[in-house]
């Protein structure tokens, strides 16, 4: 009832409100500032281009991918396939995509110049140049990968799993940065979706590569799972109405099961009807057995599986300093049948190629997921480096033991399992294939391969997605294998 005491209380509340206001301001500008500033809608960037000559964009070896000529126009590397291969990493000059041209405009357009530089420039009356930006990608690798993808649409990302540097960020189909003005005016035709960066914005159904997540959950929550044997004898049956798992029912492989319906049941089957009989956990992973992983998913339970997905970064709104990327998502299923499908990467599971690569990189890196980096260095026109690259840890997602076990499983998947097409002579490659169904038969499934090279001098991880590529092992794995070999040959990680 004391008025004075109430006033004091309200004062404390007001003070807290204003502190929150200040903290929020600082936090939000720190976390999102670069993206807001670099947003193509920000006309300040356009205006600055009138005052300054934009710096060059180069790859890590110094190959100039984008530059400005004496007339003030933006020029690109002569090789047209290399232009397209690096297009999404480099970006365009018309604010259509969110590549380096926009994202690193702070450096390219000289916003970060120190007073001393400006002063000396003014005194010497030289024209003003922005700084040159060196990306972590290797243009030759990107070019090679782009060619290897053939006619498939999709995405390939290659990362260093110890430092997080991105060596290749290829999205196909790609636009040609040289002709963006002509695309906009309609003079030139553009393939559908060419402006979309499938590596970071491609939200795909993961299919069997999601079994990595399920495997982690199994190792964590199911005791002695490695010493168990499972019976993979045929499709699993679920009640049509409630979706409840009916373990007692056995179903014959026949025409109806192909479509997932067998009379009054909903059915989950293995790819091409291959059933493996008596099988253990590691072999089930190698052979990508749907039956076993569906059963495991149901044993793990929706809550725990969702929790593991979250711990691996699914659903996180990634706030990386160098890259803007979409989130992956895992919706917690409510019925057995949905849970079973979600455990093998179907249902409503969504992953981006970049995120899958980060997870695999984490496995290869003893459980530590690194933040992907695109910026290698920034140098002024006089060659002075103004940027110190720091590798940042995104998450310590797995324990060292868990990572070691998964690594072993993935190595064996390439040696003896579905990933054998990704093997390279002289190096141990680990991986997982995925064949993600995207419709009930009409459209071919997406082909996935995620993997890594088990070598200290070449700590490389990769993710390949080929839209409508069919079998992951058949079509995605060979692309991955060749890409990894090329990366090793080029010595990107040195």
Query: What is the binding site for other proteins (CB under 8 A)?
Result: 1-8, 10-11, 14-15, 17-18, 20-22, 24-26, 28-29, 32-37, 39, 41-44, 47, 115, 118-119, 122, 125
Q: Determine the Cα–Cα distance for residues 323 and 57; give it in Å rounded to an integer.
A: 16
In the complex, the smallest distance separating the C-beta of residue 26 from other proteins, rounded to whole angstroms, is 7
In this complex, which beta carbon is closest to other proteins, that of residue 23 or of residue 147? 23
Q: Per this entry, what is the length of the chain? A: 494
In this complex, which beta carbon is closest to other proteins, that of residue 26 or of residue 393? 26
In this complex, which beta carbon is closest to other proteins, that of residue 37 or of residue 387? 37
SS3 at position 443:
coil
In the complex, the smallest distance separating the C-beta of residue 320 from other proteins, rounded to whole angstroms, is 16
In the complex, the smallest distance separating the C-beta of residue 126 from other proteins, rounded to whole angstroms, is 11
Q: Identify the CA nearest to 464 among candidates 244, 193, 153, 165.
A: 153
In the complex, the smallest distance separating the C-beta of residue 440 from other proteins, rounded to whole angstroms, is 32
In the complex, the smallest distance separating the C-beta of residue 96 from other proteins, rounded to whole angstroms, is 14
In this complex, which beta carbon is closest to other proteins, that of residue 34 or of residue 200? 34
SS3 at position 294:
helix
In the complex, the smallest distance separating the C-beta of residue 125 from other proteins, rounded to whole angstroms, is 8
In the complex, the smallest distance separating the C-beta of residue 69 from other proteins, rounded to whole angstroms, is 24
In this complex, which beta carbon is closest to other proteins, that of residue 27 or of residue 229? 27
In the complex, the smallest distance separating the C-beta of residue 329 from other proteins, rounded to whole angstroms, is 17
φ/ψ of 457, rounded to 5, equals -80, -15
Per the CB < 8 A criterion, the answer to whether 100 and 135 are in contact is: yes
Q: Determine the Cα–Cα distance for residues 351 and 207; give it in Å rounded to an integer.
A: 10
Instruction: Specify the DSSP class assigned to residue 476.
Output: I
In this complex, which beta carbon is closest to other proteins, that of residue 35 or of residue 332? 35
Instruction: Identify each DSSP E strand in 185-248 by its residue range.
Output: 229-232, 236-239
Neighbouring C-alpha atoms within 13 Å toward the C-beta of 403: 20
Q: Which residues contact 422 (CB under 8 A, 6 or more apart)?
A: 414, 429, 431, 449, 451, 477, 478, 480, 481, 484
In the complex, the smallest distance separating the C-beta of residue 113 from other proteins, rounded to whole angstroms, is 9
In the complex, the smallest distance separating the C-beta of residue 44 from other proteins, rounded to whole angstroms, is 5
In this complex, which beta carbon is closest to other proteins, that of residue 5 or of residue 456? 5
Instruction: Specify the DSSP class assigned to residue 266.
Output: E
Q: Which residues contact 205 (CB under 8 A, 6 or more apart)?
A: 345, 346, 349, 350, 351, 436, 437, 438, 446
Q: What does 40-87 look like in DSSP terms, one character per residue?
A: TT-HHHHHHHHHSBPPPEE-TT--EEEEE-TTS-EEE-S-HHHHHHHH
Neighbouring C-alpha atoms within 13 Å toward the C-beta of 145: 39
- By the 10 Å C-beta count (0-12 exposed, 13-18 middle, 19+ buried), 164 is classed as buried
In this complex, which beta carbon is closest to other proteins, that of residue 10 or of residue 181? 10
In the complex, the smallest distance separating the C-beta of residue 406 from other proteins, rounded to whole angstroms, is 37
SS3 for 32-48, per residue? HHHHHHHCCCCHHHHHH
In the complex, the smallest distance separating the C-beta of residue 34 from other proteins, rounded to whole angstroms, is 7
In this complex, which beta carbon is closest to other proteins, that of residue 156 or of residue 323? 323
Q: Determine the Cα–Cα distance for residues 398 and 273; give it in Å rounded to an integer.
A: 33
In this complex, which beta carbon is closest to other proteins, that of residue 130 or of residue 154? 130
In this complex, which beta carbon is closest to other proteins, that of residue 115 or of residue 189? 115
Give the chain's largest Cα–Cα span: 86
- By the 10 Å C-beta count (0-12 exposed, 13-18 middle, 19+ buried), 321 is classed as middle
Which segments of 205-335 does DSSP mark as H helices, in order?
211-221, 255-258, 281-286, 290-300, 302-311
In this complex, which beta carbon is closest to other proteins, that of residue 26 or of residue 147? 26
Beta strands 154-160 and 64-68 are unpaired
């Amino acid at each position: 009832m004391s008025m004075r005491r109430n006033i004091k209380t309200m004062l404390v509340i007001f003070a807290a409100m204003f502190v929150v206001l200040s903290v929020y301001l600082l936090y939000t500008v720190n976390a999102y500032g670069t993206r807001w500033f670099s947003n193509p809608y920000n006309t300040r960037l356009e205006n600055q281009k009138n005052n300054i000559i934009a710096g060059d964009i180069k790859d890590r070896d110094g190959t100039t991918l984008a530059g400005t000529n004496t007339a003030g126009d933006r020029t690109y590397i002569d090789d047209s396939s290399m232009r397209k291969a690096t297009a999404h990493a480099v970006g365009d000059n018309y604010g259509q995509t969110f590549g380096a041209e926009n994202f690193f405009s702070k450096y390219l357009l000289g916003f970060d110049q120190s007073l001393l530089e400006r002063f000396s420039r003014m005194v010497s009356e030289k024209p003003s140049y922005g700084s040159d930006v060196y990306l972590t990608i290797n243009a030759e690798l990107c070019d090679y990968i782009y060619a290897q993808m053939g006619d498939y649409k999709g995405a390939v990302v290659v990362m260093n799993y110890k430092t997080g540097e991105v060596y290749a960020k290829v999205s196909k189909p790609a636009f040609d940065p040289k002709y963006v003005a002509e695309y906009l005016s309609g003079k030139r035709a553009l393939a559908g979706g060419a402006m979309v960066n499938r590596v970071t914005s491609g939200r795909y159904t993961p299919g069997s590569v999601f079994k990595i997540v399920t495997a982690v959950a199994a190792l964590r929550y199911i005791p002695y799972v490695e010493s168990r044997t499972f019976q993979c004898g045929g499709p699993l049956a679920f009640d049509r109405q409630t979706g409840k798992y009916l373990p007692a029912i056995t179903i014959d492989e026949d025409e109806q099961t192909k479509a997932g319906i067998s009379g009054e049941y909903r059915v989950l089957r293995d790819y091409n009807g291959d059933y493996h009989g008596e099988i253990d956990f590691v072999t089930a992973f190698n052979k990508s057995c749907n039956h076993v992983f569906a059963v495991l998913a149901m044993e793990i339970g929706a809550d725990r599986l969702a929790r593991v997905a979250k711990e691996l970064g699914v659903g996180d709104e990634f706030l990386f300093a160098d890259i803007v990327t979409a989130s992956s998502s895992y919706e917690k299923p409510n019925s057995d049948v949905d849970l079973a499908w979600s455990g093998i990467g179907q249902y409503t599971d969504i992953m981006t190629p970049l995120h899958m690569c980060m997870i695999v990189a984490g496995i290869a890196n003893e459980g530590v997921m690194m933040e992907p980096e695109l910026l290698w260095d920034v140098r002024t026109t006089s060659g002075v480096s103004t940027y110190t690259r720091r590798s940042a840890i995104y998450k310590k997602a797995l324990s060292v033991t868990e990572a070691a076990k998964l690594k072993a499983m993935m190595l064996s998947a390439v040696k003896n399992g579905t990933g054998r097409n990704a093997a390279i002579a002289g190096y141990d490659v680990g991986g997982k294939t995925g064949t993600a169904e995207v419709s009930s038969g009409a459209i071919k499934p997406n082909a996935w391969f995620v993997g890594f090279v088990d070598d200290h001098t070449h700590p490389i991880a990769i993710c390949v997605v080929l839209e409508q590529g069919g079998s992951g092992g058949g079509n995605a794995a060979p692309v991955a294998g060749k890409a990894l070999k090329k990366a090793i040959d080029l010595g990107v990680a040195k």
